[in-house]
């Protein structure tokens, strides 16, 4: 059965299929011999459209016998792959082209070929080998052991427990609360009714990755043990615990086989202890070779208790006291009931899942994909890990595959491919809010209790809410992850396989903006309970409700994780919760709201709400009158740096007020921990672009002034900004009012076209100078406070831009204006194609053309795009600055175009999958590093779609991406050794992909270093994260600075730049000047003698530039251009070795006697680089710039 | 300038005094405070009488120096020969490769080297088909932004002496110094360090008047050349050659909006193309062929993808979720 056709049709159009395709399919329709019109399945419409996309549906043989599988958003084509069922068997129609089918058409069923192929690979890798001898043997042994356990006479609870402990040292794992001392019923053991294998292993949906393989053995207890009323007051669970203990005794005492056994709570549910059996380490056991364990589960058998009594709204734990007074308002015990039902229906679910795997061929694969997906997001059936695991996933698919009587077609169709099943299930999870509208399967008459935030997926046939272990927060998180995945799967341009299945999403450092750590020791122990475990769920719930209410829309998600639980020895009783553990709360903040200073509460007139508001916030709430005259309850947060971010303030306040002062004190908070590394990096109370506003307004003033100039020889077409400082992405904010801006910001002016420009490259350059002189004259004439001067550049490259105009505004902002004239491009092209020119000249023309394109076309376009993005994503600007800082700290910044780094960071925001858009600097930075550490730049390009918006109007299409990939591959073919283009970085604005990285910028060595550094950083983060999760390190203990420091001894030698020429020295000098003067003098100085000479003067950078030119590729230089205090050099291993002597080696050499064959011509003399001599030369050249040269011996 | 004593080791153990026809001349380098902890290291000059493949008139009185120090200047080399190597008088030094590349270190020959190093062969006022060029001289060239340039590491220079005798004397002195193990000290001209960069920075912004003058001179020369060319072309257009043909040459129209017109023309052409495309599926065979093409395309893409995944596997190993 398929869902209604209309819906499908509509949705399938929403897929990337264009009208054009539909039109084609339409025409094909006519060509067909209407035979399939008779086919009842509405599915045949989709194939048409679908194949319209890919051509000939006839050849595809799309008509399956039983109506094609249909998915809501992934229309169907027929695929030919082993994983699909018989209904997909291709039936090529007679006549027209008989094209062989070999899986070419999987594109739509599997998102894309690439996706499908990778999924196949993945499935191959994660499936364990079934039918291993050791496993089957062990199962048989265990089964026979259990079958041979002798029965035990009925005994009173207390006696039964005691005798087990005494005779066999096995403690009965009674759940909490322990059975009452005066219990009248008796516990006994009898041979099990059935022993069966169950779970993912037998269904062949297990995954071998990570955890050891677990096989579930279900032991059905004989029904004779139970009485009708045993479902009440834990009686069943006590009997069950005793039964389990007896089995434990049996296994422990069996002589032939040595097993290690432990008790464990099934999925952290203390009502359901289970026995985990592992091969003994010392014994050469039956299955010691392979790593796996056997879980012994218990079941009372189906329908032993009346299912009606165990519905979620029923009460099964009667409170103590007189019956009459309480029977009227018994509180439902849904968790208890569901646990009991879960025990009863183990076998029933095995049947359901088995039936599903028979019914639907792709079912197993879909389950495995689901497992991987859940695992990478940290979901697990364990109650402390979300309560949604593999079983829940498998069961939900199985139920969704069945048609619920009365509701019509099933949500999933048996004809779906594994990917379609996976995606549709994700869609089900993402789009349905099961807390508001519960899903009930064959449970028309069941009324489900409404509890805030509890999701319901009620399987009426087995009377179980499959999601009973989930908490409000884990359900929200699941929903969020599902939404996120759905969104990324809808991306038809980029391959999302890695983000869906491969990447580890759960890592808290990447996933959350802020982490709150609450040590368990801080919580008061309930006097009635000996173990804090019993109160933890309640505490968590309270934390969740108060924190979500308090933080409101400042956060987008909040998740609570508790320390992991482990099993315990059978000889001891259940251990108490470890008080050294702690609760970790991860927060994802909304960058726009999280920094709001004032919260508006209800109006004072609204008494009831106001009272509740006051009650919640306590003395923090104050009545305020606002500009519009309204009087509101409100909260005002501090902006002071010492008081921490506003989110932190709120959390501390809430903990203090609603939990306890002790908890609030012991709480540790870590949020956006890296932002202090850059000036004004935090977002507190302001957006990330604020530090740049003074420069932006200075720019718009200048633009206005230039445009209003009269007497300009030509009209101005645009004035565009083309500088990192003007796109919010320079490491340091450019300037503030009291200081002169040091690095002028580039801007580009284009005049209206005119025929009076000379038609010669060199003459154009001179004309530009003339224009600049005129502009300067006019500007200074208009406003004498503008300081202007024309400068020269590129003096060695006459066909490149030769001149610029520096403009220093009265406020201290500095701009560097260049003239863009589009005729240059044409003339350069002409030169490039001019066969009569010599090679070097044409090479120079090519270079000039590339430079022209970069400076006058790409950089301005890039600047505009980044400006827009920085305003759209609040955290982008600080993330870029932090990332640039990282590059600079590792002395890499001179090797990378700033635009390239910006693209890297923008990628983390525009293609955030598997996470959501970063909302603070730290997150943006860390995720960029993470991606960088995994970027295999030799084989894959960086492609960023800067136009990627929610609406997706102008965003890149798959074709654009394909074109870029082709270009990338072409580069790799031309330049196999990566001598010219090492990194390939394209965007929608720059499909060439080499604008920022051509001419070995960076070189291979440097790119490799970048990767190595990123990997090192990621592994440090990984360690930290493991420490945090394991409770070894505190969230606030991590020192962000460690990622920004590296040993200098990695380099061959280091030039220490003298203080006055470093950023540090400059800052110091500035500070000194500031302090030394009176304020009025300072102001005076600003207005009169601005230090104009120093604008744009960076001697150390000039020095390094010269070194690069003089030493070519003999030495690779590392320098932080923003005023770093060291210049590091590395002898290029290619150039530094011993070579045969010749006249031109391109470097200063020492002749040595050698025997290299190549040097025969020169009498057996070799040459090595004259390192000492070169260092001396460098020291001579640098003169007073260099304080010291340190040489590191790297001869290893 | 203080000079460090060469370490005895480097003098005694270094048996190499020549390689091929070159004499190896070690130069002692000055000791510098920044390099206090480093052992002194000499620089090696490779010298031979200049012997280019195509001899020039000056060849006989020239020496060829390979591997010159980066701070070698005309003055420094003059001083080297005058003070320490026989006292021969140098007429000029021609450097092979300098940074910035145009900077002519020889002030006397500034005029011609300035233009010649630009890599374009032009003569003032000379016109060929459609190129007009101005050969820069001191007047029309843009002001220089560096006081002095540097030599590329490991590059060479040709030292031209005033006469053959000086050259010969110098060569003998070089050989003698090497043989006798005399210490020859390299003394740069100084003027390096931060000050050089500061000077460069102020030279980058030449005075307005200077700049204006240079631009005016250049543009005047350019216009002159252009006029000459136009006149020549006009003549070519007007006068048939011996065979009676009129040469077709550029010009005859200097109008604005070349680009705009071209764009308009292109748009028109595009539109035409579009109209034609619209009729592409008129015949059945066209549709069929298209279909086939798409089919093939699809198949090709699939093959590519498969290959890609295979490569990925080979490169990265198995497709396994991160742990």
**Rg from Cα positions in chain A:** 36
Residues A1110, B320: C-beta atoms closer than 8 Å? no
B126: confidence class by pLDDT, cuts 50, 70, 90: very low
- Residue B156 near residue B66 (C-beta atoms within 8 A): yes
Query: Tell me, what's the ipTM?
Result: 0.82
A296 φ, ψ (degrees, to nearest 5) = -95, 110
Q: Is the pLDDT of residue A83 over 80?
A: no
pLDDT of A881: 93
Residues A1180, B192: C-beta atoms closer than 8 Å? yes
pLDDT of A835: 85
As a three-state string, the secondary structure of A128-140 is CCCCCHHHHHHHH
A394-422: average pLDDT: 83
When CB atoms are compared, the residue of A789, A1143, A1174 closest to B46 is A1143
Assess B102–A contact: CB distance below 8 Å, yes or no: yes
**Cα distance from A905 to chain B (closest Cα, Å)?**
22
pLDDT of A415: 85
A1164-1173: average pLDDT: 86
DSSP A14: H
Q: Is the pLDDT of residue A78 over 70?
A: no
B233-241: average pLDDT: 78
Residues B66, A503: C-beta atoms closer than 8 Å? no
Residues B133, A760: C-beta atoms closer than 8 Å? yes
CA nearest to B258 within chain A? A755
CA nearest to B131 within chain A? A760
Residues A210, B212: C-beta atoms closer than 8 Å? no
Provide the 3-class DSSP secondary structure of residue A189.
strand
Question: Higher pLDDT residue, A529 or A619?
Answer: A619
- Relative orientation angle of helices A363-376 and A390-401, to the nearest 10 degrees: 140
End-to-end CA distance of chain B: 64
pLDDT of A594: 85
pLDDT of B170: 92
A1015, two tokens: 């990997």
Over chain B, what is the mean pLDDT?
Answer: 78
B263: confidence class by pLDDT, cuts 50, 70, 90: confident
**Cα separation of A440 and A438, whole Å?**
6
Vertex A55, ends A50 and A56: CA angle to 5°? 100
Q: Is the pLDDT of residue B49 over 50?
A: yes
pLDDT of A806: 94
Residues B66, A1144: C-beta atoms closer than 8 Å? yes
pLDDT of A551: 92
Chain A residues closer than 8 Å to B258 by CB:
755
pLDDT of A289: 53
A568: confidence class by pLDDT, cuts 50, 70, 90: confident
CA nearest to B39 within chain A? A1172
Question: Higher pLDDT residue, A1170 or B265?
Answer: A1170
**DSSP code string of A980-1032:** S--S-EEETTBTTS-TTTTTTSS-HHHHHHHHHHHHHHHHHHHHHHHHHHHTS
pLDDT of B239: 77
Distances (CA, A) of A899 to A68, A860, A893, A1004, B111: 49, 11, 11, 19, 40
Residues A795, B144: C-beta atoms closer than 8 Å? yes
CA nearest to B46 within chain A? A1143
DSSP A692: G
Provide the 3-class DSSP secondary structure of residue A297.
strand
List the helix and strand counts (H, then E) for chain A. 37, 32
When CB atoms are compared, the residue of B118, B258, B306 closest to A117 is B306
How many other CB atoms are there within 10 angstroms of residue A974's CB atom?
A: 9
**Cα distance from A421 to chain B (closest Cα, Å)?**
20
Residue with tokens 């206005």: A704
Residues B145, A802: C-beta atoms closer than 8 Å? no
Residues A107, B298: C-beta atoms closer than 8 Å? yes
Q: Is the pLDDT of residue A453 over 90?
A: no
Interface probe for B, chosen from A717, A969, A1142, A1143 (most Cβ of B below 10 Å), is A1143
A1071: confidence class by pLDDT, cuts 50, 70, 90: low
A406: confidence class by pLDDT, cuts 50, 70, 90: low
A245, two tokens: 């203990």
Chain A residues closer than 8 Å to B11 by CB:
none
**Cα separation of A1131 and A1148, whole Å?**
13
CA nearest to B44 within chain A? A1150
Interface probe for A, chosen from B280, B296, B302, B310 (most Cβ of A below 10 Å), is B302
Instruction: Encode pLDDT of A1074-1087 as tens digits.
Output: 565 555 555 555 54
Domains within chain A, CATH numbers bracketed: 5-109 (no CATH), 128-301 (3.30.460), 337-506 (1.10.1410.10), 510-597+637-671 (3.30.70.3020), 689-873 (3.30.460.10), 874-1020 (no CATH), 1053-1191 (3.30.70.3030)
A12: confidence class by pLDDT, cuts 50, 70, 90: very low
* Run of H or E including B116: helix B110-116
Is residue B226 exposed (0-12), middle (13-18) or buried (19+ Cβ within 10 Å)?
A: middle
Over chain A, what is the mean pLDDT?
Answer: 81
Provide the 3-class DSSP secondary structure of residue B314.
helix
Q: Is the pLDDT of residue A1179 over 60?
A: yes
Closest CA to A295 of A214, A196, A205: A214
Q: Which of residues 157-186 of B touch A (CB under 8 A)?
A: none
Assess B276–A contact: CB distance below 8 Å, yes or no: no
Residues A54, B294: C-beta atoms closer than 8 Å? yes
Residues A791, B204: C-beta atoms closer than 8 Å? yes
Instruction: Encode pLDDT of B170-188 as tens digits.
Output: 999 999 999 888 889 998 8
Assess B11–A contact: CB distance below 8 Å, yes or no: no
Beta-bridge mates of residue A625: A631
Q: Is the pLDDT of residue A22 over 50?
A: no
B118: confidence class by pLDDT, cuts 50, 70, 90: very low
Question: Higher pLDDT residue, B4 or A1137?
Answer: A1137
Residues A1177, B259: C-beta atoms closer than 8 Å? no
Chain B residues closer than 8 Å to A1188 by CB:
34, 36
Assess B259–A contact: CB distance below 8 Å, yes or no: yes
Interface probe for A, chosen from B34, B214, B278 (most Cβ of A below 10 Å), is B34
Residues B44, A1150: C-beta atoms closer than 8 Å? yes
Q: Computed from CA positions of residues A887, A893, A898, A900, in that sequence, does the dihedral angle turn out positive or negative?
A: negative
Out of A207-216, A881-890, A934-943, B300-309, pick the least confident.
Answer: A207-216
Assess B218–A contact: CB distance below 8 Å, yes or no: yes
A522-543: average pLDDT: 77
What is the strand order of the sheet A1149-1153 is part of?
A1139-1140, A1165-1169, A1149-1153
Residues A770, B215: C-beta atoms closer than 8 Å? yes
Q: Which of residues 185-204 of B touch A (CB under 8 A)?
A: 188, 192-198, 200-202, 204
Instruction: Encode pLDDT of A46-72 as tens digits.
Output: 333 333 333 333 333 333 333 333 333
Chain B residues closer than 8 Å to A1150 by CB:
44
pLDDT of A92: 36
Q: Is the pLDDT of residue A1115 over 80?
A: yes
Instruction: Encode pLDDT of A754-800 as tens digits.
Output: 888 888 888 999 999 999 999 999 998 888 889 999 999 988 888 89
Most confident range, picked from A653-662, B16-25, B118-127: A653-662
When CB atoms are compared, the residue of B46, B101, B302 closest to A796 is B101
**Cα distance from A755 to chain B (closest Cα, Å)?**
4
When CB atoms are compared, the residue of A103, A504, A755 closest to B255 is A755
**DSSP code string of A839-906:** HHHHHHHHHHHHHHIIIIIIHHHHHHHHHHHHHHSTTHHHHHHHHHHHHHHTT-GGGS-HHHHHHHHH
Chain A residues closer than 8 Å to B119 by CB:
838, 840-841, 844
Residues A1177, B306: C-beta atoms closer than 8 Å? no
Cβ-count burial A399-434 (b if 16+ within 10 Å, e if not): bbbbebeeeeebbbbbbbbbbbbbbbbbbbbbebeb
Residues A1061, B118: C-beta atoms closer than 8 Å? no
Out of A231-245, A844-858, A1001-1015, B232-246, pick the least confident.
Answer: B232-246
pLDDT over 70 percentage in chain A: 84
pLDDT of A543: 92
Residues A105, B298: C-beta atoms closer than 8 Å? yes
**Cα distance from A404 to chain B (closest Cα, Å)?**
35
Residues A1110, B145: C-beta atoms closer than 8 Å? no
Residues A125, B208: C-beta atoms closer than 8 Å? no
Q: Is the pLDDT of residue B256 over 60?
A: no
Chain B residues closer than 8 Å to A126 by CB:
320-321
How many other CB atoms are there within 10 angstroms of residue B240's CB atom?
A: 11
Assess B294–A contact: CB distance below 8 Å, yes or no: yes
**Cα separation of A521 and A784, whole Å?**
69
CA nearest to B31 within chain A? A1176
Assess B151–A contact: CB distance below 8 Å, yes or no: yes
A233-250: average pLDDT: 87
Out of A25-34, A232-241, A406-415, A462-471, pick the least confident.
Answer: A25-34
Residues A763, B294: C-beta atoms closer than 8 Å? no
Instruction: Encode pLDDT of A198-229 as tens digits.
Output: 888 888 888 876 557 788 889 988 888 888 88
């Amino acid at each position: 059965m398929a869902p209604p056709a209309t819906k499908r049709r509509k949705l399938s159009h929403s897929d990337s299929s264009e009208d054009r395709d539909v039109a084609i399919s339409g025409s094909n329709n006519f060509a067909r011999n209407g035979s399939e019109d008779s086919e009842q399945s509405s599915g045949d419409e989709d194939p048409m459209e679908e194949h319209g996309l890919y051509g000939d549906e006839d050849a595809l043989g799309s008509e399956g016998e039983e109506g094609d599988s249909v998915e809501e958003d992934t229309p169907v084509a027929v695929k030919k792959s082993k994983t699909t069922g018989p209904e997909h068997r291709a039936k090529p129609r007679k006549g027209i082209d008989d094209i062989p089918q070999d899986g070419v058409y999987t594109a739509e069923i599997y998102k894309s070929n690439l996706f499908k192929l990778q999924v196949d690979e993945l499935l191959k890798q994660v499936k364990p080998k079934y039918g291993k001898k050791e496993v089957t043997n062990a199962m048989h042994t265990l089964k026979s052991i259990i079958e041979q356990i002798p029965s035990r006479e009925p005994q009173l609870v207390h006696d039964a427990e005691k005798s087990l402990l005494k005779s066999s040292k096995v403690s009965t794992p009674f759940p909490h609360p322990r059975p009452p001392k005066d219990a009248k019923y008796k516990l006994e053991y009898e041979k099990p009714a059935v022993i069966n294998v169950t779970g993912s292993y037998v269904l062949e949906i297990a995954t071998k990755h990570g955890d050891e393989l677990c096989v579930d053995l279900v032991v059905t207890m004989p029904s004779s043990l139970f009485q009708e009323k045993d479902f009440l007051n834990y009686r069943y669970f006590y009997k069950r615990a005793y039964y389990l203990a007896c089995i434990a005794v049996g296994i422990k005492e069996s002589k032939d086989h040595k097993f290690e056994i432990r008790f464990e709570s099934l999925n952290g549910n203390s009502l359901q202890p289970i026995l985990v059996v592992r091969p003994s380490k010392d014994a050469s056991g039956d299955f010691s070779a392979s790593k796996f364990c056997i879980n012994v589960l218990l079941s009372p058998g189906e329908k032993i208790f009346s299912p009606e009594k165990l519905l979620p709204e029923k009460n099964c734990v009667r409170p103590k006291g007189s019956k009459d007074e309480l029977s009227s308002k018994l509180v439902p015990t849904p968790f208890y009931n569901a646990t009991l039902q879960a025990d009863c229906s183990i076998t029933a679910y095995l049947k359901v899942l088995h039936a599903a795997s028979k019914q639907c061929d792709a079912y197993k694969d879909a389950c495995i994909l689901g497992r991987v997906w859940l695992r990478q997001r940290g979901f697990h059936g364990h109650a402390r890990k979300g309560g949604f695991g593999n079983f829940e996933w498998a069961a939900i698919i199985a139920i969704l595959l069945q048609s619920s009587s009365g509701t019509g077609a099933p949500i999933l169709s048996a004809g779906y491919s594994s990917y379609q099943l996976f995606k549709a299930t994700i869609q089900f999870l993402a789009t349905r809010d099961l807390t508001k509208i519960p899903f009930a399967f064959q449970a028309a008459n069941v009324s489900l209790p409404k509890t805030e935030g509890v999701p319901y997926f009620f399987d009426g046939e087995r009377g179980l809410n499959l999601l009973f272990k989930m908490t409000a927060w884990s359900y929200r998180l699941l929903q969020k992850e599902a939404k996120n995945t759905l969104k990324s799967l809808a991306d038809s341009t980029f391959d999302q396989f890695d983000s869906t299945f491969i990447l580890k999403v759960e890592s808290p450092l990447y996933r959350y903006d802020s982490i709150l750590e609450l040590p368990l020791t801080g919580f008061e122990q309930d006097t009635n309970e000996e173990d804090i475990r019993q109160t933890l769920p309640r505490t968590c719930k309270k934390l969740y409700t108060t924190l979500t209410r308090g933080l409101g829309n400042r956060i987008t998600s909040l998740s609570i994780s508790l320390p992991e639980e482990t099993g315990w020895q059978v000889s001891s009783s259940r251990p108490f919760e470890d008080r050294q553990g702690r609760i970790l709360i991860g927060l994802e903040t909304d960058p726009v709201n999280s920094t709001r200073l004032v919260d508006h509460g209800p109006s004072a007139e609204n008494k009831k709400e106001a009272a509740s508001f006051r009650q919640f916030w306590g003395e923090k709430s104050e009545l305020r009158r606002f500009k519009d005259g309204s009087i509101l309850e409100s909260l005002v947060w501090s902006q002071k740096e010492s008081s921490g971010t506003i989110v932190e303030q709120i959390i501390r306040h809430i903990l203090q007020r609603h939990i306890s002062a002790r908890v609030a004190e012991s709480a540790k908070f870590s949020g956006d921990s890296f932002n202090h590394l850059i000036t004004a990096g935090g977002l507190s109370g302001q957006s990330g672009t604020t530090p740049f506003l003074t420069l932006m307004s200075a720019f718009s003033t200048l633009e206005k002034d230039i445009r209003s100039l009269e007497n300009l020889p030509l009209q101005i077409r645009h004035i565009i900004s083309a500088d990192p400082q003007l796109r919010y992405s320079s490491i340091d904010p450019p300037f503030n009012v009291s200081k002169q801006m040091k690095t002028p910001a580039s801007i580009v002016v284009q005049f209206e076209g005119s025929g009076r420009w000379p038609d010669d490259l060199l003459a154009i350059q001179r004309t530009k100078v003339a224009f600049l002189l005129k502009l300067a004259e006019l500007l200074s004439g208009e406003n004498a406070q503008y300081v202007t001067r024309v400068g020269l550049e590129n003096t060695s490259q006459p066909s490149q831009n030769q001149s610029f105009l520096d403009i220093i505004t009265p406020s201290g902002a500095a701009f560097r204006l260049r003239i863009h004239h589009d005729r240059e491009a044409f003339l350069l092209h002409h030169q490039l194609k001019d066969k009569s020119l010599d090679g070097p000249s044409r090479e120079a023309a090519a270079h000039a053309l590339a430079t022209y394109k970069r400076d006058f076309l790409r950089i301005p376009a890039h600047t505009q795009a980044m400006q827009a993005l920085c305003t759209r994503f609040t955290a982008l600007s600080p993330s870029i600055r932090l990332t640039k800082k990282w590059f600079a700290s590792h002395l890499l910044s001179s090797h990378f175009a700033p635009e390239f780094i910006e693209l890297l960071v923008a990628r983390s925001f525009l293609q955030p999958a598997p996470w959501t858009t970063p909302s603070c600097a730290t997150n943006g930075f860390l995720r960029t590093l993470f991606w960088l550490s995994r970027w295999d730049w030799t084989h894959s390009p960086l492609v960023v779609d800067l136009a990627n918006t929610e609406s997706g109007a102008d965003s890149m299409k798959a074709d654009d991406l394909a074109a870029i990939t082709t270009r990338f591959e072409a580069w790799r073919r031309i330049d196999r050794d990566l001598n010219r283009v090492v990194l390939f970085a394209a965007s929608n604005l720059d499909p060439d992909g080499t604008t920022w990285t051509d001419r070995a910028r960076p070189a291979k060595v440097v790119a490799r270093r970048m990767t190595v550094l990123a990997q090192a950083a990621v592994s440090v983060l990984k360690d930290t994260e493991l420490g945090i999760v394991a409770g070894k390190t505190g969230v606030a203990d991590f020192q962000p600075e460690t990622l920004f420091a590296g040993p200098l001894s990695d380099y061959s030698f280091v030039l220490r730049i003298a203080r006055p020429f470093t950023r540090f020295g400059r800052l110091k000098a500035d500070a000194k000047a500031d302090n030394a003067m009176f304020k009025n003098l300072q102001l005076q100085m600003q207005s009169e003698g601005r230090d104009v000479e120093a604008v744009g003067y960076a001697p150390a950078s000039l020095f390094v530039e010269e070194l690069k030119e003089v030493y070519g590729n003999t030495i690779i230089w590392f320098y932080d251009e923003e005023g770093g205090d060291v210049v590091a050099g590395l002898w290029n291993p290619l150039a530094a070795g011993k070579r045969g002597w010749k006249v031109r080696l391109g470097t200063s050499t020492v002749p040595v006697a050698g025997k290299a064959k190549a040097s025969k011509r020169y009498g057996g003399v070799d040459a090595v680089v004259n390192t000492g001599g070169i260092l001396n030369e460098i020291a001579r050249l640098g003169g007073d710039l260099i304080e010291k040269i340190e040489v590191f011996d790297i001869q290893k | 300038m203080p000079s460090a004593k060469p370490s005895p080791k480097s003098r005694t153990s270094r048996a190499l005094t020549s390689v091929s026809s070159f004499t190896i001349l070690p130069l002692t380098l000055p000791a510098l405070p920044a390099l206090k902890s480093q052992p002194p290291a000499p620089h090696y000059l490779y010298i031979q009488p200049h012997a280019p493949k195509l001899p020039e008139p000056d060849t006989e009185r020239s020496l060829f120096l390979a591997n010159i120090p980066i701070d070698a200047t005309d003055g420094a080399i003059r001083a080297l020969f005058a003070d320490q190597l026989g006292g021969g008088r140098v007429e000029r030094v021609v450097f092979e490769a300098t940074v910035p590349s145009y900077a002519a270190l020889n002030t006397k020959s500034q005029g011609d080297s300035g233009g010649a190093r630009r890599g374009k062969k032009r003569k003032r006022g000379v016109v060929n088909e459609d190129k007009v060029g101005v050969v820069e001289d001191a007047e029309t060239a843009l002001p220089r932004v560096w006081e002095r340039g540097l030599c590329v590491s490991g590059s060479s220079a040709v030292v031209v002496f005033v006469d053959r005798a000086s050259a010969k004397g110098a060569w003998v002195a070089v050989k003698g110094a090497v043989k006798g193990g005399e210490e020859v000290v390299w003394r740069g001209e100084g003027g390096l360090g931060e000050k050089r960069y500061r000077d460069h920075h102020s030279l980058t912004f030449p005075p307005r008047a200077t700049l204006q003058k240079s631009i005016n001179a250049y543009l005047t020369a350019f216009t002159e050349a252009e006029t000459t060319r136009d006149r020549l072309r006009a003549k070519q257009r007007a006068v048939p050659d011996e065979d009676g043909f009129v040469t077709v040459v550029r010009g005859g129209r200097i109008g604005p909006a070349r680009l705009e017109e071209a764009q308009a023309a292109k748009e028109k052409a595009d539109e035409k193309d579009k109209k034609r495309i619209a009729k592409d599926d008129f015949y059945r065979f066209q549709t069929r062929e298209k279909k086939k093409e798409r089919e093939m395309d699809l198949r090709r893409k699939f093959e590519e993808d498969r290959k890609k995944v295979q490569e990925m596997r080979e490169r990265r190993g198995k497709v396994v979720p991160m742990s």
